[in-house]
Amino acid sequence: MTSVITDQGTAIQPGLDDIGEPLSAVTFVTVDLETTGGSPRTSAITEIGAVKTRGGEVIGEFQTLVNPGVPIPPMIVALTGITDAMVAGAPALSQVLPSFLEFLGNAVLVAHNAPFDVGFLKAACTQLDYRWPGNDIVDTVTLARRATTSEEAPNKKLGTLARVFGTQVTPNHRALDDARATSEIMHAMFERLAAWGITHREDLDSLRNPVPASIRRKAPMADALPPFPGVYVFRGNGGEPLYIGTSKNIRSRVKTYFTSGEQRRAIRDMLVIAESVDGYPTPTEIEANVLEIRLIDRHRPRYNRRSSRPERTPWVRLTDEPHPRLSVVRAVSGEAVHIGPMGGAGDAKAAVEALEEVTAIRTCKARLPKTPTTGARACLQADLESCAAPCILGDAGGYPNVIETLIDAITRDPSPIVEALTERITDYAGRFEYERAAALRNGVSALIQGAADAQYYGALRRCSIVAGRPNGNSWDVIAVSGGWLTGSVRVVDPSHEALDAAADGLLADDAGQPSDVQPLVEEMQLVASWLDSPGVRLLRVEGEWSQPVRGAARHGSWVEARRTDRALVWDAYAGTSPRI
């Protein structure tokens, strides 16, 4: 695949989503509460103080006393100096909370011993029927455990940390002063934590809860990765791939593996033995997804579960025999008459049973000769008239007509078989054989979807396509040949001339893929989904192609295939499935 970034070779200016948000650009609101006690279930807020900062500069402050509606215990009065007389004329929490939430906005919420303050604020929102905004939260106690030693700060109390960092404001158990001191301490600790690679908002998650040292010390492996879409590969001591993934921002995604947010045991085990991680930027997200699939198929990394065994995908095909039968297989050639890929082994079996129900195709697995042998005997299926019995009649029994009807349904128009199955389902339901009717209904759905996908992917393999799709202010352009994604490009100039130039460039760079090699199922599914998405514009097409609406069978409606002079067109089946 090509890896062109722009249509003219100019580097794209990355935005904040690409490189992350530096801590100097993050807005923090440091809050402190004074309350009548230690639990929000039995106590109330008496004062709120908050400081809003960005880049270390104070850009706003919020302070108010709050009438708790209950007497303040003497011990609390002695601690904070806030008396009943001071709060008698103060606004109630119902008047204060909306103003504070507006002041908070979408900033990162900071508090010392955050569970205490956040617990009271969440309880207040619940009590007054406000939605908790869900801001990111930073606890300066957690920061202090990483940024200070036990010698300089034996405990992580606010007063202790204020002395360690020499804050200008001394904590005094009043909300605004304590919030100011907490804010100073936080910024001082950020200066220390920069040595740990904590420089962006996305890095803060690694501080909220510690991770094992064996993993934490490997976090700098992510620093050199590119902040662009693409694929990342964790490698072991011998360079072997351990885990392969994809992301819109490689660096930010890899950093999350070294935080407490990564709780998967297998991934934690992988990180312990990982020695390096490589990043492979791609110009578009779909190219990253396809590259991930190909690398997983090629290397089979032991810590990847998804997509690790693409050969397990089931198909239903007609066997290559004098008297063919239906078989569930794990791979098909481009020439074989087949349906699929199927959603699973259950779908494949259900589709086979549905076809066998109404087509008189043989169900035995013996390989029959073209001409029946002397003395050959038929099985019970022939007696029940559910099989054309080629074992004793050969072609004389009309078996070629059975196969011709089946091939026509698979490759062109399944309507006659669908109608026959509909009648059979209705008959079963009328006889109260609901389980059999339901199983047959599921078989019809699997059959229709499998046939639709087989025709769709077959058409995709016979075509060469260059298509574009808007992506914000730019366009993603991809080239597909023989079902393979052969290249992609991000075009920052959405003019017709630029899109045409990108299409010509992709065609010129197309090295092609071997025509005798079947594309990976997941790759074709990704390409098909992309081509079916809204806003796609076909720029170059060689061969017959249309963009049918697929997937209807998965959502409970049926699909009818009709061939026009130019291509296949899929319409919603006019009938409705019986209620079972």
Q: What rounded mean pLDDT belongs to the chain? A: 81
Which residue do the tokens 């579960």 mark?
A: 305
> Distance between CA atoms of 10 and 34, rounded to whole angstroms?
56
Is the pLDDT reported for residue 517 higher than 70?
Answer: no
The single residue listed with the structure tokens 């396509």 is: 465
Instruction: Please answer whether residues 488 and 476 qualify as being in contact, where contact means their C-beta atoms are separated by less than 8 angstroms.
Output: yes
Highest mean pLDDT range out of 110-124, 223-237, 450-464, 474-488?
Answer: 110-124
| pLDDT reported for residue 58 | 96
Mean pLDDT of the region 357-372: 78
Of the candidate ranges 41-50, 333-342, 542-551, 559-568, the one whose mean pLDDT is the lowest? 559-568
Domain boundaries, the chain: 22-199, 315-448, 459-572
pLDDT at 260: 67
Query: Could you tell me if residue 133 is left (phi over 0), alpha (psi between -120 and 50 degrees) or otherwise beta?
Result: alpha
Name the least confident of 47-56, 230-239, 455-464. 455-464
- Catalytic (active-site) positions: 173
User: What pLDDT score does 208 carry?
Assistant: 60
pLDDT per residue over 225-254, tens digit each?
988 889 999 999 989 999 999 998 999 889
pLDDT for residue 369 is more than 80? no
The domain made up of 22-199 is a member of CATH 1.10.10.10: no
In the predicted model, is pLDDT for residue 356 greater than 90? no
Identify whether the C-beta of residue 207 lies closer than 8 Å to the C-beta of residue 142: yes
Is the bond preceding residue 71 a cis peptide, omega within 30 degrees?
no
Judge whether 483 and 524 are in contact, CB under 8 Å. Answer: yes
Question: What order of strands is seen across the sheet that includes strand 326-329?
Answer: 326-329, 315-318, 338-339
Looking at the whole model, is its pTM more than 0.75? no
| pLDDT score, position 473 | 86
Residue-level pLDDT at 549: 42
Q: What is the per-residue DSSP string for 530-544?
A: HHHSTT-EEEEEESS
Q: What percent of the chain has pLDDT over 90?
A: 33
Beta strand 108-111 pairing with 27-35: parallel
Residue 314 per-residue DSSP state: -
